[in-house]
């Protein structure tokens, strides 16, 4: 019986990248959800931080999630876990950090 490579446990760069992207998506989901809910049709520049600051913060916080989850297979279930972990890291960083990053 042949096993597929992406179902085996082991750390590879493609797995790290997939989990990092999923975690960044979770981070962006946490940042964008309140803006989408409260969207009134008018755009105010102070209502949303610059895209590069969010990308840098998401990339840095999502590294932890990607390092922890890099040994997991790339399946929908594991990517949802990485996305939830990115969401949780973003929430934790927003609560713990004294500066309002998100």
Q: What is the pLDDT of residues 53-96, one digit of tens each?
A: 777 888 888 888 888 888 888 889 989 999 999 999 888 888 88
Distance of CA 24 to the CA centre of its chain: 3
Q: What's phi and psi for 81, nearest 5 deg?
A: -65, -40
Write out pLDDT tens, residues 27-36. 888 878 877 7
The domain locations on the chain are 10-37+46-95
CA dihedral 23, 24, 30, 34 (to 10 degrees): -160
């Amino acid at each position: 019986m042949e096993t597929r490579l992406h179902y085996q446990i082991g750390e590879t760069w493609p797995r790290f990248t997939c989990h990092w992207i999923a975690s960044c998506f979770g981070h962006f989901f946490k940042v964008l959800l309140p803006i989408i809910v409260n969207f009134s049709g008018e755009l105010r520049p102070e209502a949303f931080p610059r895209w590069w600051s969010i990308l840098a913060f998401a990339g840095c916080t999502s590294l932890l999630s990607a390092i922890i989850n890099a040994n997991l297979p790339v399946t929908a279930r594991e990517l949802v876990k990485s996305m939830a972990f990115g969401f949780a890291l973003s929430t934790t960083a927003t609560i713990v950090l004294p500066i309002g990053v998100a």
